[in-house]
Structure 1
Amino acid sequence: MPTRRHVLGGLAAAPLLSRAAWAEVGAPTHVAAARRGNGSYALFGMTGVGDVAFEVPLPDRGHAAAAHPVRAEAVAFARRPGTFALVIDCADGRVLRRLDSPPGRHFYGHGAYDRSGDMLLTTENDYESGEGRIGIWDVGAGYLRIGEVPSGGIGPHEILRLPGTDRFVVANGGLRTHPDSDREVLNPDTMRPNLSFLSDGSTDRVVELEPALRRNSIRHLAARRDGTVAAALQWQGDLSEVVPLLALMPSEGPVRLLADADPGQAELQGYAGSVAFDGAGGRVAITSPRGGLAQIWEVASPGEPQILRRPDICGVARAAEGFVFSDGGGGWLTAPAPQVHPVAWDNHIVSLLAG
């Protein structure tokens, strides 16, 4: 498997066409997928005050997106077990490329660019073997797939690049699934979720939860500027058991279960849908559409969390100050005032803010 260094040094890729930067398409601060009122789907660019900067149709339900670090270009991923992703020019709405997962694979709805935007990494399921894969696509060569590496576990859901680096972290949720069985978990008794850290195409660190929490699927991620990773968890065991659904992984040291002793975790009904640090990095939020609430925690000295109650709240991302949240009723909750759009926002918000 060629590493980033080999790829960039050895490929004679065609030069990229000059395309608009994010500032030229209405200066959006976030992108998110949604279902419109007529039942169709689209990817939206949203400004810092919650206005729509652009709207690009999607052929089916989207999940999350990867935003190019420089150009106004995004990859919209189908919801698991979808097999397509669309590379979209957000300046004019053109579909630049359609990416199809290799035979025997499907995407998990997430991906991430490297720091330069030269390569895209995608989380994938090799569903016959049950092993997780990270697909590698060369952007300059027209999103040519140039290889893959192991994800470090089963069920790689979200992949995230750590700020200021070309090191990636993968949430291996531990759930073995197969398209023939829809979304049924095939290995509930042998789950081993983990966080895997990848550099130059190989795994350099794997972190697991304690054995008693092996059914706590690690699904979604956020990263702070200092490399601290926050993980939103989804409990696959008996929902009468109340378990922590928010974990922090510092750049060095053990996993910290931020909500370990909080009785309010029961309100989340075993499901944390998204996670984000705020703009300053001092607070971290998780959402629960099942529970209809978000919890906002102080990272340094957690006490009881701040609670935001909103039906079907799931999307969360950092804003210039604080957070932005979204819900299935069209609510886009950000400063200076919330807005309601005629859409049903999907699960995630992707921040375009630097850092």
Structure 2
Amino acid sequence: MLRRQFLAAGAASMVAGLTWADVGAPSFLTAAIDRNNNAWLIGLSGTGDKLFQLPLPSRGHAAAAHPTQPVAVAFARRPGRFAIIVDCTSGQEVARLNAPNGLHFYGHGAFSADGNLLLTTENAYEEGVGRIGVWDVQGGCKRIGELPSGGVGPHEIIRLNNGSFAVANGGILTHPDSGRSKLNLPTMRSNLTYLSAQGAIEAIIEPPEEFRQNSIRHIDANADQSIAIALQWQGDPRKNVPVAALAKPDGSLAFLDHPDTARLKHYGGSVAMSSGGEAFYVTGPKGNWVLTFDVATGAPIAGFEVPLASGVAALDAGVAMTSKSGLSYLEGGQLRSVETGGDMTWDNHLVRLTHL
């Protein structure tokens, strides 16, 4: 059980030692802004009901769910400096983390397999290098150090099923004084970095020269540790380039063709492996389209029109996505949608909580 200084007031479920198996809501977490530009972290049921809306200081991005206890950490969108720890049984804020001076969050984090550590992607913006912040959950979620991310602009970090980690280093240099401006596009180079369970860099996989401006931003992995990648092209907009890639455990990195690639307008919003790991999905919020690929071969499977398709999360069969209507489900090749109400604009991620 996490220590009481981590819990603060209002986290009664964790004091009681509850696990994900003991709670029934919500099914998903996602960040959104409303028509008045207020930022929220929202807990959604599988039927699209808003079970809670937690106000955020500014726009949020993604969340990381604790592996055993009903707690998640919601992160600020770059270049934000806050991360909010949420009791998922009540939707209440438990505590707040702040990035140290000279650093900001990139919107993502991941827990260690035992839940004792939280790793966060960060920008050391004066140095222009990526960092992985390390937070001691057992010790009250205190920061205990930082590690090299293996590149510039680390965005998403995920834990693989062997306890190690993969980091999507997007390659884009930014500085808070310049807002969200991209400062190094002519020379940028993204990569996929593998970290050991202890945080040591084990391998760095870089795209070939022709795709070095294809920013590796969002990733997901299956049980075999194949990693699906959503790409965001930063080069010549006249080029038709892949928006999806696949990294295999042998160190190979393949950029994948799809007949509907151009529909995504150079922007893969989010990515999710299917529950069985045999396929993956890339959303295109700018193109109102979703691509699906076969993991074994990298071949395209299908494409689907989904207005403002944003976050995506695997279900036991198919996937759920945040979309213009609220939630959209793609199951057995059939698309259905449920309304969530509230006229929300969703950010790029839909986090399925681990009790499902």
CA RMSD of aligned residues (A): 2.2
Q: Are positions 1:253 and 2:251 aligned together?
A: yes
Matched AA of 1:195: L
Which residue of 2 is the match for residue 286 of structure 1? 282
Question: 47-56 or 224-233: which moved more?
Answer: 47-56
1:182-211 alpha-carbon deviations (Å, 9 max, x no partner): 111111122111011111121001100111
Which residue of 1 is the match for residue 12 of structure 2? none
Alpha-carbon distance in structure 1 between the residues aligned to 2:136 and 2:42: 25
Q: Provide runs of 4+ in structure 1 moved above 6 Å.
A: 12-16
Question: 113-122 or 344-353: which moved more?
Answer: 344-353
Which residue of 2 is the match for residue 9 of structure 1? none
Contact 1:278–1:318 at 8 Å: present in 2 too? yes
Question: 28-37 or 338-347: which moved more?
Answer: 28-37
| TM-score (norm. length: structure 2) | 0.89
Which residue of 1 is the match for residue 90 of structure 2? 92
Which residue of 1 is the match for residue 219 of structure 2? 221
Q: Are positions 1:338 and 2:334 aligned together?
A: no
1:154-181 alpha-carbon deviations (Å, 9 max, x no partner): 0000000012x22000000000000111
The verdict on how the C-alpha distance between 1:20 and 1:35 changes in structure 2, with shifts beyond 3 A counting, is: farther
Alpha-carbon distance in structure 1 between the residues aligned to 2:145 and 2:113: 19
| TM-score (norm. length: structure 1) | 0.89
Contact 2:260–2:291 at 8 Å: present in 1 too? no
Which residue of 2 is the match for residue 6 of structure 1? none
Which residue of 2 is the match for residue 113 of structure 1? 111
Give the 5 Å matches for 1:22-33: 22-33=20-31
Which residue of 1 is the match for residue 170 of structure 2? 173
Question: 93-102 or 330-339: which moved more?
Answer: 330-339
Q: Are positions 1:269 and 2:270 aligned together?
A: no
The verdict on how the C-alpha distance between 1:26 and 1:354 changes in structure 2, with shifts beyond 3 A counting, is: closer
Cα deviation for residue 288 of structure 1 reads: 1.0
Contact 2:205–2:251 at 8 Å: present in 1 too? no
Alpha-carbon distance in structure 2 between the residues aligned to 1:184 and 1:152: 22
SS at match of 2:105: strand
Cα deviation for residue 55 of structure 1 reads: 3.5
Contact 2:25–2:88 at 8 Å: present in 1 too? no
1:29-70 alpha-carbon deviations (Å, 9 max, x no partner): 321112245643322233344444444332322110011111
Give the 5 Å matches for 1:10-49: 17-36=15-34, 39-49=37-47
Q: How many equivalent pairs are there?
A: 340
- Unpaired runs of 5+ residues, structure 2, are 8-14
- Unpaired runs of 5+ residues, structure 1, are 1-11
Contact 1:28–1:53 at 8 Å: present in 2 too? yes
Alpha-carbon distance in structure 1 between the residues aligned to 2:76 and 2:262: 30
Matched AA of 2:135: W
The verdict on how the C-alpha distance between 1:177 and 1:14 changes in structure 2, with shifts beyond 3 A counting, is: closer
Q: Are positions 1:145 and 2:123 aligned together?
A: no
Contact 2:325–2:337 at 8 Å: present in 1 too? no
Contact 2:241–2:266 at 8 Å: present in 1 too? yes
Question: 56-65 or 128-137: which moved more?
Answer: 56-65
Matched AA of 2:154: P
Alpha-carbon distance in structure 2 between the residues aligned to 1:348 and 1:143: 24
**Which of 159, 162, 168 is matched with 1:161 structurally?**
159
Which residue of 1 is the match for residue 11 of structure 2? none
Matched AA of 1:189: P
Alpha-carbon distance in structure 1 between the residues aligned to 2:117 and 2:96: 15
Alpha-carbon distance in structure 2 between the residues aligned to 1:143 and 1:320: 32
Q: Are positions 1:197 and 2:194 aligned together?
A: yes
SS at match of 1:313: coil
Alpha-carbon distance in structure 1 between the residues aligned to 2:88 and 2:6: 20
Contact 1:25–1:54 at 8 Å: present in 2 too? no
SS at match of 1:314: coil
Contact 1:63–1:109 at 8 Å: present in 2 too? yes
Cα deviation for residue 331 of structure 1 reads: 2.0
Which residue of 2 is the match for residue 348 of structure 1? 349
Alpha-carbon distance in structure 2 between the residues aligned to 1:269 and 1:335: 21
**Which of 64, 73, 76 is matched with 1:75 structurally?**
73
Matched AA of 1:345: W
